[in-house]
Structure 1
Amino acid sequence: MSKLKLAFIGLGRAAQHYAEVIKENLSDEYIFSVGVDQYAESRSKWEKENSGKTFASIDEVSKDDVDIAIITTPSGSHAENSKVLLQNGVNVLCEKPIGLNVEDVVANMALAKEKSVLYGGVFQNRLNKPIKYIENLFSQNDFGKIISASVKLQWCRLQDYYNDEWHGRWKTDGGVISQQAIHHIDALFYLFGPPEFLSGFSGNINNKLEAEDTFVASGTLLKGGFFTIEATTAVRPEDFSASLEVVTDKYQISVGGIALNELTRVKLDGVELSNELKENSETVKNGYGNGHYHMLKEISENFNDSGKIIFPTSAESSLDSIKYIHALYSSVENNSIISFSDDVRSAKLGQDV
């Protein structure tokens, strides 16, 4: 079995999570080839715990040393990091968000095509058992008409979280919907299709930051039915809940858990399908969930079966979620109902404000 060589760009908490997943479950399928971080302390820690070379600059990453470069740097760096690697002929798998500016990601997609390299994003919750369960149901013709679909994220981030050089700032991050709740918003529209019209409200309740610690929104789905979004990092003293729910004229389904990992309720025509719950739930160690494992396993299995690297989530599909975030922010900025088909842009996200 041939091992895929990985580079990690940014050796912080997210990269450490990947390393743990690989060492515990996928050590026969992946090898740590390169680690990149501007901080010597982070590089030293990585060298002690993992194999491979480390560099201070992304320019040192060569396609000869790497099969896939996984970007785990701060959000505002993602598009530029991707551009450098794609230009150098390296396959890029970028953590969320794939970029803050739509045009930067579109340009990177064109660059990837020009260089004949792969460019993908990471939305690991799409691979969770409860999400796959709903996806399979929805693909069937008897799922019913959607009445409402909703996501709720009630988390705690204390002020010190926002006191670094990038969290909560428009240029480098955005607020709760572009950082914490983007996974839940992605799951909502991934499952039930894009919004048609939407309207949002935002503010800061308990934290001081350029963007928002609380956002609520509602609107209509293009395929029919309504949606709502509630997201906040103002809860105290700890995370409270995160959930996704859908109600149709046949089904009522709830998903919970710290990583959308638990199918908590399923009713069909008023009858509780309790036997479905355990089979379509999974135990997780932390808020990252098991999706990174599922993603890496799928990549390695495809590679060993076909000799080709295939990313479960394309850059184009990842870009959809950035467009949702821009539309939500635009609604607040313009104090208006937004038509998603107008392909609007936020005047703040990814910009110097």
Structure 2
Amino acid sequence: MHTPIHFALIGCGNIATEHATQITRVGILVAVVDTNLAKAKKMGDQYGVPFFETSSALYAAVQKLDVVVIATPNGLHAEQAIEAMQAGYHVLVEKPIALTGVAIQQMQAVANQTGKQIFSVMQNRFNPPVKLIHELLQQKVLGNIDHVQINCFWHRPASYYTNSWHGTMALDGGTLFTQFSHFIDLLCWLFGKVNTAEGQFKNRNHQGLIEFEDEGHIQLEFESGIKASMDYSVNEPSVNREGSLTIFSSKGIVKAGGSYLNILEFEVDDVELASILQIQLDTINKEQFSANDYGQYKGSMRNHYQVYNSLINTLLHQTPYYTTIEEAKDTIDLINLIYQAR
């Protein structure tokens, strides 16, 4: 029987409940931290653990700790991860892992110095249609790929940005970081490095509330020659309308569709490929899925349990974690390349 892994959670905002649920499933939650002491107390009381206002107070007080989970505003991730590793702990960092490639290099340097590991959260890789598309690409059964289209049409009300770090350049960074970095990650994971990126950005419905765009159109060309387009918005009036990735290839169309890359759709000419997809379709589309629900809006699919399963397997059995710090950096570098046109 292995010794249980001990976790502390920094940040008691919307996604914290999902992290606390997974932590208590796979290990032991020993403390929570939030600069808003009322939030920290509420979560600490809920889970019967000490709560702190600062991470330094946590590190001074805690006796047994292995992993620090960082679920704070984007712009704080790098410095908090570095502080935790220097204090002697592994880190699991919510997406986006940081806002710049330089910050990620600094995190990696500290990980190397301290011998601690950085785990990132990219749970949409576990969505069944996405996993299937990845396998089909690895097996090279989709034929020549002509074009990839990503559509992200989500709902973020004014209340989401009011009196919040959301919408600020320093702590949020942009819609591609906070809402749609999962989709950029999938582009990198599925299709490799990008040669050129162009984008147009507009703030149509959130003027005075956010310091960047609420909608955009992006065009990418990968080193492989594949071209991709992405249209995204947080201006849907009431619900997340679509979050999809469609591949147009010489054998037809394969799509991870729905609101959260959760539905498999296809229209292909190749009989063998059609047969593979039909078998998978029946399995995948029967699966029950749910998104992270925050009341007035919803986030991505709830696959954090897969993230924690992978983390535990890495720490206890040295199984490779499902994603790497280099892959996380590729995603952030691509977002910043896209945003250079802003």
Judge same fold: TM > 0.5, yes or no: yes
Please point out which of 305, 320, 326 is paired with 1:293: 305
Written as runs of structure 1 = structure 2, the 5 A alignment for 1:1-353 is 1=1, 2-23=3-24, 26=25, 29-62=26-59, 65-208=64-207, 209-265=210-266, 267=268, 269=270, 271=274, 273-281=277-285, 282-286=287-291, 287-304=299-316, 306=317, 308=318, 311-330=321-340, 332-333=341-342
Whether the 8 Å contact between 1:242 and 1:258 is mirrored in structure 2 is yes
Equivalent AA in structure 1 for residue 225 of structure 2: G
Asked if the contact 1:254–1:263 (Cα under 8 Å) also holds between the matched residues in 2, the reply is yes
Structure 1 Cα separation of the partners of residues 323 and 76 of structure 2: 20
Q: Please give the alpha-carbon distance, in whole angstroms, between the structure 2 residues aligned to 1:237 and 1:125.
A: 23
Give the conservation status (yes or no) of the 8 Å contact 2:146–2:250.
yes
Confirm or deny: 8 A CA contact 1:61 1:85 kept in the other structure.
Answer: no
One-letter amino acid matched to 2:335:
I
Instruction: Render the CA deviation track for 1:21-79: whole Å, top value 9, x for unaligned.
Output: 455xx2xx311112111112112211222143221111134485221111100111111
Gaps of 5+ in 2: 292-298
Q: Secondary structure at the match of 1:133?
A: helix
Aligned residues: 326
Structure 1 alignment gaps of length 5 or more: 334-353
Q: CA deviation at 1:165?
A: 3.8
Moved more, 171-180 or 223-232: 171-180
Check conservation: 1:32, 1:51, Cα contact below 8 A.
Answer: no
Instruction: Work out the CA distance in 2 between the residues paired with 1:117 and 1:297.
Output: 18
User: Pairwise CA RMSD of aligned residues?
Assistant: 2.0
Decide which moves more: 268-277 or 10-19.
268-277
Q: TM-score, normalised by structure 2?
A: 0.89
1:251 Cα deviation from its structure 2 partner? 4.3
Preserved contact between residue 147 and residue 249 of structure 1 (Cα < 8 Å): yes
Distance 1:87 1:266, change over 3 A: farther
Relative to 1, partners in 2 of residues 1:96 and 1:168: Cα closer, same or farther, differing over 3 Å? same
Amino acid across the alignment from 1:20: T
Contact 2:9–2:68 (8 Å) recurs in 1: yes
Report the Cα offset of residue 212 of structure 1.
0.5
Name whichever of 57-66 and 213-222 sits farther off. 57-66
Quote the offset at 1:285 in angstroms. Answer: 2.2
1:244 alignment partner, SS class: strand
Shift of the alpha carbon at 1:266? 5.6
Q: Flag the 1:147–1:194 CA change in 2: closer, same or farther, 3 A.
A: same
For residues 151-200 of structure 1, the C-alpha deviation after alignment (integer angstroms, 9 at most, x for no partner) is 11101112222222421121111222121111112112211112221210
Q: Which amino acid aligns with 2:82?
A: K
Offset at 1:268? 5.1
Displacement after TM superposition at 1:10 (Å): 0.3
Label 1:266 to 1:77 Cα distance change in 2 as closer, same or farther (>3 A).
Answer: farther
Distance 1:93 1:104, change over 3 A: same
Query: 1:253-299 CA deviation, whole Å, 9 max, x = no partner?
Result: 11123332222336352747433213235422224423211111222
- Structure 2 Cα separation of the partners of residues 141 and 309 of structure 1: 26
Cα distance change, pair 164–106 in 1 and its aligned pair in 2 (3 A): same
The percentage of aligned residue pairs carrying the same residue is 28
The DSSP-based 3-state class of the residue aligned with 2:165 is: coil
Q: How far, CA to CA, are the matches of 1:169 and 1:104 in structure 2?
A: 18
Aligned partner of 2:147: which letter? S
CA contact (8 A) 2:152 2:244 kept: yes
- Residue 294 (structure 2) aligns with: none
